[in-house]
Chain A
Amino acid sequence: MSRNPYVRPVSPTTWYMRNGRYIKYMLREVTCLLVGFYSFFLICVLAILAGGSEERWLAFLASQQNAFWLAFHVIALLFYLVYMTFDWFQLAPKAMPLQVGEQKVPPAFIVAAHYVAWAVVTALVFLLAGVF
């Protein structure tokens, strides 16, 4: 008997349309575009601040007061908080499992610890920034 294995083709451009699991993964991955853009945006904002001109700073703030930029900030925040943060915290117990004695620490506990750490760091940043 001769061998003649058949290799099924995989499309390099549309493979992720094969099932919902891959589509969800790709949605998580494309958030990097938003993250990248937002980081770039923040650097620009810092540059304006560092420039020291109050006039330019106020002009920048005024430029953000319209529907387009408000929508952009809301979407970026949602993506960061709801999608990226939620998804990654959810995955954290896989990368960092804990075992105390013979017992595995429940994954939900590790996820919760991440949220607590996040809240503490956020409060510290707000404190340093003089928000409260």
Chain B
Amino acid sequence: MSKRTLDIEVLRYDPEQDTEPHFMSYQVPCEEDWAILDALNYIKEELDTTLAFRWSCHMMVCGSCGMMVNGEPVLTCKTFVRDLPKDVRIEPLENFPIERDLVVVLDDVMEKLQMAKPYIIRKDPPPENEEFNQPRSALYKFKQYTMCVNCMCCYSACPQYALDSSFIGPAVLALAHRYNIDSRDQGKSERLDILADHDGVWNCSFVGACSEVCPKNVDPAAALQQMKIDGAKAYWLQKLPGGKS
């Protein structure tokens, strides 16, 4: 296989020494079939062992290798060297604080994740001693949203989150929507009370960047618009005589 040498600039930040991040350049002889993650591993193994970055599965499942490559938030295990120009710039995911080098602090999203109540909520007890059947048509309604690997590329792409981090954000809201439209779930009104609010779906102005960058084709922007409709419906239904508050 032929090799191709890339000039890779990596944003480095050492929290114990640096006052701000700076770029370092590496020349990396890449194999034709490498992903950018392989190039990073080459740097760490052969050129500079101090480089910090996250990864685990190398197969688009764990969601931990999200970074900015030439300005776009991507999974680096899914971004191939052959599709990139010779000059490549790698930065940590935007809109998150940098812990060290390419590692970002995700605490904010982890906290918000709990607000979505991402589990099935039942008001009536589920059927006893028998399977809780769900027709395939009901599964297909939300299946797309189960594909999210929490890589947080969508948060990096979202200008709304960049400007106002109180926004709950795309992946968490899409996950809430996934449960809202699950035929076995009865917790929609509980979730909407929290999420159909200013910091929730109404902070989204439908830029749509989240869906454009999603490496798993989840389409969080669609989920958010649908939740806006659900939230508005619930609001007006409450206003009707006899409507529940």
Is there an interface contact between B97 and A99, defined as CB atoms closer than 8 Å? no
Within 8 Å of chain A (Cβ to Cβ): is B162? yes
A to B contact number (C-beta, < 8 Å): 75
- Are A97 and B97 in touch, CB under 8 angstroms? no
| Alpha-carbon gap, A6 to B209, bound state (A) | 24
A29 touches B205 (CB 8 A): yes
Q: Say whether A12 contacts B140, CB under 8 Å.
A: no
Interface of A (DSSP majority class): loop
Is A10's CB within 8 Å of the partner chain B?
Answer: yes
- Chain A residues with CB below 8 A from B221, complex form: 94
Given A5-B97, A99-B137, also A10-B163 (CB < 8 A): yes
**B36 contacts which chain A residues (CB < 8 A)?**
none
The one of B15, B95, B205 in contact with A4, judged by C-beta atoms closer than 8 angstroms, is B15
Let me know if B159 is at the binding interface, CB within 8 A.
yes
Select A15's contact among B16, B18, B159, B211, beta carbons within 8 Å: B159
Contact of A6 among B97, B163, B211, B226 (CB under 8 A): B97
Q: How far is the CB of B100 from chain A (nearest CB, A)?
A: 9
Min CB gap B233→A, angstroms: 13
Cβ–Cβ contact A21 & B99, under 8 A: no
Partner of B137, one of A5, A22, A102: A102
Q: Which of B18, B162, B205, B226 has the most CB of A within 10 A?
A: B162
| Chain A residues in 8 Å Cβ range of B141 | 99
Choose one: A22, A95, A96; the contact of B207 (CB below 8 Å).
A22
B-contact bits for A38-78, CB 8 A (1 contact / 0 none): 00000000000000000000000000000000000000000
B171 near A: Cβ within 8 Å? no
Given A10-B163, A15-B159, A21-B212, do A95 and B222 touch, yes or no (CB 8 Å)?
yes
A12 to B163, CA, bound (A): 7
Considering the chains assembled together, what is the distance between the CA atoms of A103 and B57 in angstroms? 32
B155 contacts the other chain (CB 8 A): no
A11-52 interface (Cβ within 8 A of B): 12, 15-16, 18-19, 21-22, 25, 29
Known A4-B15, A21-B212; judge A10-B162 contact (CB<8 A). Answer: yes
Q: How far is the CB of B166 from chain A (nearest CB, A)?
A: 14
CB neighbours (8 Å) of A97 from chain B are: 222, 226
9 residue pairs bridging A and B, Cβ less than 8 Å apart: A5-B15, A7-B97, A8-B94, A10-B95, A18-B159, A25-B209, A91-B208, A95-B225, A99-B141
Q: Which A residues contact B (CB, under 8 angstroms)?
A: 1-8, 10, 12, 15-16, 18-19, 21-22, 25, 29, 91, 94-97, 99, 101-102, 104
Given A8-B21, A15-B162, 8 further pairs, Cβ under 8 A = A5-B98, A6-B21, A10-B163, A22-B207, A94-B221, A95-B225, A97-B222, A99-B141
9 nearest A-B residue pairs (beta carbon): A5-B97, A95-B225, A94-B222, A4-B15, A6-B98, A25-B207, A102-B137, A10-B162, A7-B97
